[in-house]
Amino acid sequence: MQVNNLINGQWVGADSGATFEVINPATDEVVARVPLGGSTETERAVSAAHDAWLKWRGTTANERASLIDKLAALMRRDADRLARLMTAEQGKPLAESRGEIAYAVSFLDWAAEEAKRIYGEIIPASAPNKRILVFRQPVGVCAIITPWNFPSAMITRKLGPALAAGCTVVIKPAEDTPLSAIALGELALEAGIPAGVVNIVTGDPRAIGGLLTSDQRVRKLSFTGSTEVGRLLMKQSSDNLLRLSMELGGHAPFIIFDDADMSRAAEAAMACKFRNAGQTCICANRFYVHESVHTDFVSRLSSAIGTLRVGDGTQEGVNVGPLINDEAITKVESHVADAREKGASVLVGGQRVRIKGLADRFYAPTLIDGMTADMRVHHEETFGPVAAVRSFRTEEEVVEWANSSQFGLAAYFFTQNASRLIRVAERLEYGIVGANDGGPSTVQAPFGGVKQSGFGREGGKYVMDEYTQLKYISWGV
Ligand code: SIN
């Protein structure tokens, strides 16, 4: 199957005709071929987005809300098809893909409402013959660069509020998972979103990113992906003083205090760690368990991991799919090997799972005990199904360990002591804290990190600040 890019309402290939393959990570089958676009195609998409913006910014909030609502309704109508497409290109189990489509739709639903709440203000002036009026206006053309781990939701989380604010967009999806983006583009056209408002370019990340960060008609870049690429984009954007939102890497601590509800903590740990085969920016990376409950926790986790089924995400009952590509599985292997060499014990898993007829990209859900601070699992994002445990003695010590990371996206802890709950939550240097909660992601909250995990917030009313800018009118009367 050959699919095309969306530029100015038209489905087009790369000028050169070149394409690249999208591979099903579970089976190695070629799912589709997509255009290998570059700077020329991206420049055309930016022109289309800019021309469209001149009209789109003048539409009413109700018009924009109604189009976003239509797009959401079409995603709901096609949820099963979109979920299957996602599993084919990304590998996550079908149930998770269905969950992601619902999550993706929730961002559109919310944005359609926010479109109607973009208010200005009138500020009392210091002179009797003046009035100060504050307007909130769309920033303009937005570049949206999204990752492969959530091929739909990371787009709608940006696209919904951008459209609601009156911005137009050029989307560059990840090379591994462009098909979910293209399917969204088809639905955007079907919903009646005007040509040029939503554009999608696939292909060479350097060339596309280079153009998006240097063309002065682009006024905003929202990026979700690695800290390394985020830094590069930020450097490239500096000449243009581009407004940026950066949702970057994480390295979440998951702390279990001696007074935790152990069954709740273990259940949350499983969901938080093994969702999407451990390939999320907010998944638990470092489990710190109080020494008095260490044996209990490790035994609960070992048993729960034993119930996970690894395999092709289209198969009923599979909970853990493949890793996205060969590089990803090699990285997971190297983290486990490094932990072993430095003295950790691998209690469960610790090797690839080879399944007849499938690709060699499945890694066994793994539990490592005896993690120490010098291990790679302790400070680098593993992005795989590996849970590593370290015991602690005091609250003081564990909060210090938790904050010792360069990252600051999500942190989790479990306690039944209300004073400790507030004390620890306040001291954790993270943008998102799950207190007795392993799944804090939700549409109404300000998702985002601090330190090397980036800046900017996505979700709820907060995201509207990212796509709007203030202007005031000093009005002499
Ligand atoms: C991510 O961590 O990659 C995004 C996950 C989410 O929104 O829950």
Atom index in ligand 1 nearest the CA of residue 224 equals 3
Q: How far is the CA of 381 from the centre of ligand 1 (A)?
A: 14
User: Do 267 and 352 fall within a single domain?
Assistant: yes
User: Do 81 and 59 fall within a single domain?
Assistant: yes
User: Do 153 and 222 fall within a single domain?
Assistant: yes
What CATH number does the domain containing 52 carry? 3.40.605.10
Q: Which of 447, 458, 463 to mutate to test the pocket of ligand 1 (most atoms within 8 A of CB)?
A: 447
Atom index in ligand 1 nearest the CA of residue 439 equals 8
Its pTM stands at 0.97
Q: Does residue 1 carry a pLDDT above 90?
A: no
Judge whether 325 lies within some domain.
Answer: yes
Q: Which of 430, 389, 160 is nearest to 266 (CA)?
A: 389
Per-residue pLDDT tens for 187-229? 999 999 999 999 999 999 999 999 999 999 999 999 999 999 9
User: Do 238 and 263 fall within a single domain?
Assistant: no
285 lines ligand 1 (CB under 6 A): no
Q: Are 155 and 224 in contact (CB under 8 A)?
A: no
Q: Which residues of 128-137 are buried (b: 16+ CB within 10 A; e: fewer)?
A: eeeeeeeebe
Judge whether 447 lies within some domain.
Answer: no
Q: Does residue 48 carry a pLDDT above 90?
A: yes
Q: Which of 154, 156, 248, 383 to mutate to test the pocket of ligand 1 (most atoms within 8 A of CB)?
A: 154
Point out the catalytic residue in the list 89, 100, 114, 247. 247
Judge whether 307 lies within some domain.
Answer: yes
Q: Which of 249, 250, 248, 255 is nearest to 401 (CA)?
A: 255
Q: Nearest residue CA, atom 6 of ligand 1?
A: 441
149 lines ligand 1 (CB under 6 A): yes
User: Do 376 and 461 fall within a single domain?
Assistant: no
Q: How far is the CA of 441 from the centre of ligand 1 (A)?
A: 7
Q: Is there a catalytic annotation at residue 167?
A: no
* Cα–Cα dist 105/435, whole Å: 26
Per-residue pLDDT tens for 328-337? 999 999 999 9
Judge whether 219 lies within some domain.
Answer: yes
Judge whether 448 lies within some domain.
Answer: no
Point out the catalytic residue in the list 142, 272, 281, 283. 281
Q: How far is CA 255 from CA 236, 237, 366, 411, in A?
A: 38, 37, 18, 8
Domains in the chain: how many in total? Answer: 2
Q: Does residue 64 carry a pLDDT above 90?
A: yes
Judge whether 93 lies within some domain.
Answer: yes
Judge whether 342 lies within some domain.
Answer: yes
Q: Does residue 272 carry a pLDDT above 90?
A: yes
Spell out the alpha helix ranges (H) of 279-350: 294-306, 326-341
User: Do 295 and 425 fall within a single domain?
Assistant: yes
Q: Which DSSP letter does residue 278 get?
A: G
Q: Read off the pLDDT band of 322 (50, 70, 90).
A: very high
Parent domain of 349: 252-442
Atom index in ligand 1 nearest the CA of residue 447 equals 7
AA identity, residue 91: G
- Across 325-453, the runs of DSSP E, i.e. the strands, are 345-348, 366-369, 386-392, 407-408, 410-414, 432-435, 450-451
Q: Is there a catalytic annotation at residue 247?
A: yes
* Cα–Cα dist 364/308, whole Å: 9
Per-residue pLDDT tens for 226-270? 999 999 999 999 999 999 999 999 999 999 999 999 999 999 999
Q: Are 274 and 254 in contact (CB under 8 A)?
A: no
* Cα–Cα dist 374/427, whole Å: 24
User: Do 373 and 287 fall within a single domain?
Assistant: yes
Judge whether 297 lies within some domain.
Answer: yes
Q: What is the mean pLDDT of the chain?
A: 98
User: Do 173 and 281 fall within a single domain?
Assistant: no
What CATH number does the domain containing 410 carry? 3.40.309.10
User: Do 378 and 410 fall within a single domain?
Assistant: yes
User: Do 306 and 421 fall within a single domain?
Assistant: yes
467 lines ligand 1 (CB under 6 A): no
User: Do 99 and 188 fall within a single domain?
Assistant: yes
Q: Are 198 and 168 in contact (CB under 8 A)?
A: yes
Q: What is the mean pLDDT of residues 415-426?
A: 98
279 lines ligand 1 (CB under 6 A): no
User: Do 309 and 220 fall within a single domain?
Assistant: no
How much is the pLDDT for 277?
98
Give percent of the chain above pLDDT 70. Answer: 100
